[in-house]
Amino acid sequence: MWVGEVCAADEPLDAVSVQATLVPEFASGEPAETDRPAVIAFITRLHDAYVKAGKAYDAIGPALFPRGDELVAQHRRGLAEIVPRMQGHLERARVGPAQELGPVVELAATQASAWSPAGPGLSELRRTVPGLEEAFHQAPECTT
């Protein structure tokens, strides 16, 4: 069911909003070389969640509801933009100088916290598209 596929694809994105607030704490306030693994792990979690959501959105078929295809297309487009950004942050965290770790963490967290796709969201469509609210409540992926 289309709406269930959207809910399942949104699950990693919901996790990103929580993960973005879990910025690692560093003993000296600013990350040092010894903190590089924590920085890499943090950015990897963000990157991987976006990749997972992107794959799920790529697998969603045609919508059965008005504006549903627009929702999916906007999410795909937005994910196609944020994944390379997170990949770039991850590369900087892996090989950049230790003094860049703090700015990289801050930038990745800020971009993850602020990210949202253009276009309608599922909650907006649920309010405006007849039958979608009922389909939402019937989809196991949306109610768990």
Query: In the prediction, which pLDDT does 89 show?
Result: 97
% pLDDT > 90, the chain? 77
User: Would you say 47 and 90 are in contact if contact means Cβ atoms under 8 Å apart?
Assistant: yes
Instruction: Tell me the C-alpha distance between 80 and 123, whole Å.
Output: 22
Average pLDDT over residues 87-106: 96
Does residue 144 register a pLDDT over 80? no
Judge contact between 12 and 115, C-beta under 8 A: no
pLDDT category at 111 given cuts 50, 70, 90 is very high
Nearest CA-CA partner of 93 in 40, 45, 49: 40
Examine the pLDDT at 46 and tell me if it is beyond 80.
Answer: yes
Residue type, 103: P
Can you give the pTM of this predicted structure? 0.91
What gap in Å lies between CA 6 and CA 90, rounded to an integer? Answer: 27
| CA pair distance 107, 32, nearest whole angstrom | 17
